[in-house]
A and B are shown apart, each in its own frame.
Chain A
Amino acid sequence: MMKADKRFAVFMVLPALAVMLIMTVYPMASTIYYSFTDFRLLRRNISFTGLKNYASLLSNEYFLASVWNTVKFSLLAVTFEVVLGFLTALYVNSLKSLRLQKVLRTVILLPYLLPTVTAALSWRMMLSPNYGIVNQFLAPMGLPVHNWFRDIHTAFAMLVVIDVWQNMPFVFLMVYAALQSIPQEQYKAARIDGAGTIAQVWYITLPNLRTALMLCTLLRTIDTFRIFDKVNLLTGGGPAGSTTTITQYIYNSGIKSLKFGMGSACAIIMTGLVLVLSALYVRDIMNQRSI
């Protein structure tokens, strides 16, 4: 009987396992394998090159610049998203009117619901040097008008702003939900103990939100590390490579030029970076849970 149950369980799990193997494990294994080869799509012969791709990438200043851009982008975007999301959630949660809370919750969430392409194209129109609404506001006030995505001083910042605008609501939502689950008695006890508003945030809210904030940071870090669509649609990695992220670099040097071996090595390095960062956060979250 037990054996039959076991067989049935294995049988039920098999389809999911097969899909996972085909969709995840096989591509991952292939990528690792190709990263040690000189695989090009239009060339028949594939020869094993060892660590040559990796060595070449690590000595390539464009690749290193793209790694730095990605790290910089990730740091800035995640910091702003988490801080703004936290403050917004704190504000909305403190509102006494539940109706106003509901309205604000919906309004704040809207950017997150938009497809990235739609959001990127809307911003491209708004920031257009010719007919963009932003420049039309700035010009009458005597402020400098920019070609926001083609100016080396503003392109990167604009990408950060757009990413923060679109993804801050995610942090808001997570923190808002976590705020609702903090027992009100803790605040009451703290008030009786003599904690003012700031002390309550510091001693009650933040420690209770730590897991949620860490989780947001982890998920947003992974996501911003993989940023591609916004960069590709808005700047294409330019001007002068100032917005080239790792994914954009993979696209330019791996996909467009069909150098799949090199592209694979690039992807493996990126995965390694994300894994290291994730491991740090996950360890912290697990430590939190064990408290």
Chain B
Amino acid sequence: MDKSSSQRFDPLTRTWWLKHRFFKLYMVREATVLPLVFFILCLLAGFVSLLQGADSWQGWVAFMGSPIVLALNLLALAASLFHAATFFVLFPRVMPLRIAGHRLPDNMIVAGQWAGVLAVALLFFWLLGRA
């Protein structure tokens, strides 16, 4: 990219991305990190509460159950799945895999990554499904 390339573009307005569905979807994907940050901050508070003791931990669990927090974390769950869906299709494009000279079909790579998500969820179920 040469130094004068910026002069070929008009300055963007703040709302340029509202003009096309593709750009709106792009901005939605960018915004998936907002509920993610909320969940991470909640989780960090949980870490601190574990350091403080049992009462503090119970208080944190109750806090996580308050309606607004729960709703935002459900949004974070949806956002993480949306992010995963958009992220997994990039993998075969960025790094096509070849096995014995044959290109692995894109949908197999995507399915493999979803299998990873499922495996992690099953690990959690195995760890937490019984007391």
Do these two chains interact? Answer: no
A residues neighboring B (CB under 8 Å): none
